């Protein structure tokens, strides 16, 4: 029987608020089995860019990572990474902070220019699953920030949802993997105003919700990543509020679960 692994992606408000982050990390620390924490930090990077007089450039909600921006996101993501690691150490979680460049964890290719030049943005090509296994065997918990590398000396800003999905897929042959996306909503919603959670979504249901306009905008790439992960061998994908992380391994989990059927 495979060992279990929970890959948790966190972003948004919880990273910005010290008290929220502390509470979330206590719940992460209590998760059973092997685990990985993946984090972004784009909102903080945008604040820093504005303070430095280099306003972020966005197209359709996506950051254009030019030469100035990659330096700033590297600084912000790396600093945040070490902050999270230090907080986990205080909770007796032996964690190790990583970018995709560390130990050649995640190799990417710079996104090719089509209609938009996103700059130094990476599309993941390979995950070093053997490195992850060695870290788990050593009793370490990887904390991975949203930076990868091209194996030519260039760091690349990479979507944290995608990183979480690729890490989960990369070790699905070795572990029983649960991928958890934590954000500010209680799950995927059928009624946003009343916060009505869709408890389970299959691929067929996903297509139906999209055609009916129930699932739209930024939730679509998140769910595309999630179903790609399931099709690649990840056991479950869960989407929930970050306050519910302590329930993802229990029967009273209140969020959304994605499954093949």
Residue 123: burial class (beta carbons within 10 Å; 0-12, 13-18, 19+): middle
Total number of domains in the chain: 1
97 is in an annotated binding site: no
Write out pLDDT tens, residues 21-80.
Answer: 999 999 999 999 999 999 998 888 888 989 999 888 888 777 899 999 999 999 999 999
79 is in an annotated binding site: no
The structure's pTM equals 0.94
Mean pLDDT value across the chain: 93
Annotated binding-site residue? 63? yes
pLDDT of residue 42: 83
Does 41 carry a binding-site annotation?
yes
Strands (E), the chain: 3-10, 34-39, 57-59, 62-64, 95-98, 106-110, 122-127, 141-145, 147-149, 155-157, 175-183, 189-191, 196-197, 200-201, 236-241, 256-258
- Determine the average pLDDT of the residues in 236-241: 94
CATH number at residue 85: 3.40.1160.10
b/e 35-48 (16+ beta carbons within 10 angstroms → b): bbbbbbbbebbbeb
Instruction: Check residue 11 and give its pLDDT.
Output: 82
* Structural domain harbouring 216: 3-258
SS3 245: helix
């Amino acid at each position: 029987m495979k060992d279990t692994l929970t890959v948790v992606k966190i972003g948004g408000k919880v990273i910005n608020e010290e008290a929220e982050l502390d509470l979330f990390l206590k719940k992460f620390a209590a998760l059973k089995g092997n685990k990985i924490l993946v984090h972004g930090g784009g909102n903080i990077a945008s604040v820093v860019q504005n303070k430095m007089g280099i306003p972020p450039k966005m197209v359709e909600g996506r950051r254009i990572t030019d030469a100035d921006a990659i330096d700033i996101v590297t600084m912000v993501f790396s600093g945040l990474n070490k902050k999270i690691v230090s907080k986990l150490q205080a909770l007796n979680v032996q964690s190790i902070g990583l970018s995709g460049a560390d130990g050649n964890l995640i190799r990417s290719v710079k996104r090719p220019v089509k209609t938009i030049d996103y700059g130094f943005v990476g599309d993941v090509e390979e995950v070093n699953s053997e490195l992850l296994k060695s870290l788990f065997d050593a009793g370490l918990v990887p904390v991975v920030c949203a930076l990868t590398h091209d194996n030519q000396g260039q760091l690349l800003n990479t979507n944290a949802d995608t990183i979480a999905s690729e890490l989960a897929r990369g070790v699905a042959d070795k572990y029983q993997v649960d991928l958890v996306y934590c954000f500010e909503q209680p799950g995927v919603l059928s009624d946003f105003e009343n916060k009505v959670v869709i408890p389970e979504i299959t691929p067929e249901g996903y297509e139906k919700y999209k055609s009916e306009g129930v699932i739209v905008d930024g939730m679509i790439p998140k769910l595309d990543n999630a179903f790609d992960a399931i099709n690649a061998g990840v056991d479950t994908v869960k989407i929930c509020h970050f306050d519910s992380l302590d329930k993802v391994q229990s029967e009273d989990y209140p969020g959304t679960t994605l499954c093949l059927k």
